[in-house]
Amino acid sequence: MEVIEKQPENSLQEKLISLVDKISIASVQDKKNLIKKDDFLLLLQNKDLIFDYTRNKANQIRQENFSNKIYIRALIEISNYCKNACYYCGINCKNQNIQRYRLSSEQIMECCKTAYELGFRTFVLQGGEDIFFTDEIICKLIKSIKEKYPDCAITLSLGEKSKESYALYKQAGVDRYLLREETANSEHYQKLHPKNMNHKNRLECLRSLKNLGFQTGAGFMVGSPFQTLDDIAQDLCFIQSLKPEMVGIGPFIPHEQTEFAKFPSGDLNLTLFILSLIRIMLPKVLLPATTALSSINPEGRTLGILSGANVVMPNVSPMEQRKNYALYNNKASVNEESAEGLILLQKQLDKINCKIDFSRGDYQQ
Ligand code: 5AD
């Protein structure tokens, strides 16, 4: 608001403000007045002019919908084996320099126990696309977790599967599924992935997850190699039409043993700006301040929350395996990023007048 008073003569700024307001209005009108790609692009090109206004609006919308509550999810990294060779990812199958591990069902149950005792009521099972974890093994595991912790939500983040597999997971009791599209532009997708990976299939997976009734998470990395602002605008359009219940947005961070080792990390402020646009577009979305954001800036998590994020996902994987789940270098997994650090987390949240919410934190219409 301050910005308007200071520079009433600046017509570009007025246009940008009315565009941000339009995103907000469109979000409650459902399907009417969807924002066009060129409008998102204009905002991205001029983010510095509209950054504070957008962030304040996003932060306000977060408070209106969730008051001062921040949901926590226990992240369990179940395997770093992966059959894919995504060029950006440190656990891609071509990387011979990492020690591979796979948690046993007993170890995963143990992680759930630790997390439950700490107060977590959502378990996120994330891993590479590890062929060891057949549908049968996954479903058995899900059923055991649900049986022992019927008051908890389960989120899976295990990559692309067939519609039939997703249906089995749903039947077994999975509540949520995270699968970032990585980019909505198929040409860009092909620059990030080898030929055997297919953009159409990725998008179909997301549609299937939505249709099966999962709380579905989409998203992308900010500043991934070859990404343009136009690509990001396309992702924003994609997310606007998909209306996922969760959105994962974090900066790209290079990993030294990947093809993209020499590319720079994604920009902090651009990431924060995009988080704000997503919060304004989808007021009730579950939006984590991601580990990648904390990894590029020690204040990343707080800044993310002040830009509209309302979820954090501390790591509860066994300590000795955490270093091996390095999707990128210098990944935060200790202190506030870990489960042991819930007290530290609360202290961090105190400073911005927020508090941990220990409920399941499902998406509410
Ligand atoms: N930098 C940041 N994020 C990454 N991811 C994978 N590799 C990297 C990286 N180098 C993200 C992808 C994936 C999620 C689990 O982690 O977006 O979907």
Ligand 1 binding residues, C-beta < 6 A:
88-89, 180, 182, 221, 250, 252-253, 255, 292, 327-328
Q: How far is the CA of 7 from the centre of ligand 1 (A)?
A: 39
Please give the pLDDT value at position 9: 52
Q: How far is the CA of 252 from the centre of ligand 1 (A)?
A: 7
Would you say 223 and 251 are in contact if contact means Cβ atoms under 8 Å apart? yes
Angle of helix 229-242 versus helix 268-281 axis, rounded to 10: 30
Q: Is this model's pTM higher than 0.85 or not?
A: yes
Average pLDDT over residues 338-348: 84
Q: How far is the CA of 328 from the centre of ligand 1 (A)?
A: 7
Long-range contacts at 3-10 (CB < 8 A, ≥ 24 apart):
3/50, 3/52, 3/53, 10/49
Q: How far is the CA of 300 from the centre of ligand 1 (A)?
A: 16
Q: What is the per-residue pLDDT across 166-224, written as a single tens digit (0 to 9) for each? A: 999 999 999 999 999 999 999 999 999 999 999 999 999 999 999 999 999 999 999 99
Residue nearest to atom 14 of ligand 1 (CA): 180
Rg (CA), the chain: 20
> In angstroms, rounded to a whole number, what is the distance separating the alpha carbons of residues 194 and 202?
13
Q: Which ligand 1 atom sits closest to the C-alpha of 292?
A: 2
Q: How far is the CA of 301 from the centre of ligand 1 (A)?
A: 17
Q: What is the per-residue pLDDT across 97-130, written as a single tens digit (0 to 9) for each? A: 999 999 999 999 999 999 999 999 999 999 999 9
Among 98, 177, 226, 328, name the best residue to mutate to test ligand 1's pocket (greatest count of ligand atoms within 8 A of Cβ). 328
* Interior angle at CA 297, CA 295 and CA 301, nearest 5: 80
Among 86, 221, 249, name the best residue to mutate to test ligand 1's pocket (greatest count of ligand atoms within 8 A of Cβ). 221
As a three-state string, the secondary structure of the chain is: CHHHHHCCCCHHHHHHHHHHHHHHHHHHHCCCCCCCHHHHHHHHHCHHHHHHHHHHHHHHHHHHHHCCEEEECEEEEEECCCCCCCCCCCCCCCCCCCCCCECCHHHHHHHHHHHHHHCCCEEEEEECCCCCCCHHHHHHHHHHHHHHCCCCEEEEECCCCCHHHHHHHHHHCCCEEECCCECCCHHHHHHHCCCCCCHHHHHHHHHHHHHCCCEEEEEEEECCCCCCHHHHHHHHHHHHHHCCCEEEEEECCCCCCCCCCCCCCCCHHHHHHHHHHHHHHCCCCECECCHHHHHHCCCHHHHHHHCCCCEECCECCCHHHHCCCCCCCCCCCCHHHEHHHHHHHHHHHHHCCCEEECCCCCCCC
Please give the pLDDT value at position 319: 84
Q: What is the per-residue pLDDT across 6-59, written as a single tens digit (0 to 9) for each? A: 555 579 999 999 999 999 988 877 666 789 999 999 999 999 999 999 999 999
